[in-house]
Amino acid sequence: MGVAITVIKPGMLTTVQDAGRWGFQAQGVPVAGPMDPVSHRVANALVGNARDAALLEITLLGPELAFEDERIVAVAGAEFAVTVDGHPAPMRAPFAVSAGSRLRFGVRRHGARAYLAVSGGIAVPPILGSRATHLVSGMGGLGGRALVAGDRLPLGVRSRWSHPAVPAPESTVKKSRSDPHALRVLPGPQADHFADEALDVLQSAPYVVAQHSDRMGFRLDGPRLRHARGADIISDATPLGVLQVPASGQPILLMADRQTTGGYPKIATVIAADMAIAGQLAPADAIRFAVCTQAEALAALIAQERALMALEEPRA
């Protein structure tokens, strides 16, 4: 192995993630990838990596890492107190980590998941074209698992350009846990499998992320959604951000490690532009859903994509 990062402390759940393992869902292979795709792209852009480069997704409690050579590093997403050899490091801005230095994640201030990008990317071997870790199947990343102390993460070749040392725009993470996170949704694909009032009920009060939630999906506690014709359908595809509703009437928000198909009807789907907000949710966080139009969903996605592309544009 060439130049690498050594894991001194792994944190609660730290995994290697790139943009995901797309193109194999028809064969039953889940996508995986980042829970917050916007912060993933922001972190990579700040260090000059390609948008789909592999980095570290850090959940709730961060790691301690030792560097073998000098690298440009950036952290986006959830805000942590990050230090390099005891000195504070910025959020959403590139900074240098010298050979032999240690980078530590301290107190988490808000948000659930941070994304640590290193110039050159994490160069673990790709599987089916992706380095993303899928925990349930044990595929990708480093042995298909979360990092443990003593792991060595190989690094790729550093890029030849970098962004100026200025912060990226504030992330979409809301800083107040007392305010429910607002997620816009489009009805369906099986909204007709629910009682007439179900979409109104979905928007009537907050839902709380249950403790037994994970990268596959968030189980939500809140107003019960009534089915019109039973809680089972012929299994079909499960898009990112879809709200499937089992017989309990309590929705499940499917996330990055979701299965490829499911047999529960799906009342609504979180719009692509709001998945960055969903990806920063933690147990006990509250969510409010709001139905929007396709035009509003598309406008939000276009605006978000323009901002990301401007950040990714190479600069001399």
Report the greatest alpha carbon distance in the chain: 62
Q: At what angle do helices 37-47 and 294-312 cross, to 10 degrees?
A: 20
pLDDT at residue 229 is higher than 90: no
How many residues are there in the chain?
316
How much is the pLDDT for 178?
46
- Grade residue 170 by pLDDT with cuts at 50, 70 and 90: low
Range(s) within the chain of domains with CATH label 2.40.100.10 = 181-309
Q: Is residue 37's pLDDT more than 60? A: yes
Question: Under a CB-based contact definition with an 8 Å cutoff, are residues 99 and 68 in contact?
Answer: yes
Q: Is pLDDT of 164 > 60?
A: no
Q: Say which residue, 61 or 157, is predicted with more confidence.
A: 61
**Tokens 């870790």 found at:** 133
SS (H, E, C) the chain: CCCEEEEEECCCEEEEECCCCCCCHHHCCCCCCCCCHHHHHHHHHHHCCCCCCCEEEEECCCCEEEECCCEEEEEEEEEEEEEECCEECCCCCCEEECCCCEEEEEEEEEEEEEEEEECCCECCCCECCECCCECCCCECCECCECCCCCCEEEECCCCCCCCCCCCCCCCCCCCCCCCCEEEEEEECCCHHHECCCHHHHHCCCCEEECCCCCCCEEEEECCCCCECCCCCCCCEECCCCEEECCCCCCCEEECCCCCCEECCCEEEEECHHHHHHHCCCCCCCEEEEEECCHHHHHHHHHHHHHHHHHHHCCCC
Average pLDDT, integer, range 159-183: 56
Q: Cβ of 175: how many Cβ atoms within 10 Å?
A: 11
Residue 169 has a pLDDT of 57
Selection from 209, 219, 8, 214 nearest residue 103 by Cα: 8
- How sure is the predictor about 315, in pLDDT bands with cuts at 50, 70 and 90? low
Please tell me the least confidently modeled range out of 23-37, 152-166, 273-287: 152-166
CA distance 30 to 144: 13
Query: Does the structure show a pLDDT above 80 at 130?
Result: yes
Residue 171 clears pLDDT 80, i.e. is over it? no
At residue 106, does pLDDT exceed 80? yes
* pLDDT above 90 for 173: no
| Mean pLDDT value across residues 35-60 | 96
pLDDT of residue 168: 63
Rounded distance, CA 132 to CA 141, Å? Answer: 5
Instruction: Give the separation between CA 242 and CA 245, rounded to whole angstroms.
Output: 10
pLDDT at 160 over 70: no
Q: What angle do CA 76, 121, 43 make, to 5 degrees?
A: 15
Alpha-carbon distance of 266 to 246, in angstroms, equals 9
- Determine contact, residues 38/113, Cβ cutoff 8 Å: no
* Percent of the chain surpassing pLDDT 70: 92
Residue 181 confidence (pLDDT): 84
pLDDT at 2: 83
Q: At 167, is the pLDDT very low, low, confident or very high (cuts 50, 70, 90)?
A: low
Q: Which two structure tokens, joined as six digits, stand for 112? A: 């659930």
Q: What is the mean pLDDT of residues 235-264?
A: 95
Domain at 181-309, CATH from 1.10.3720.10, 2.40.100.10, 3.40.50.2000, 3.30.420.40 = 2.40.100.10
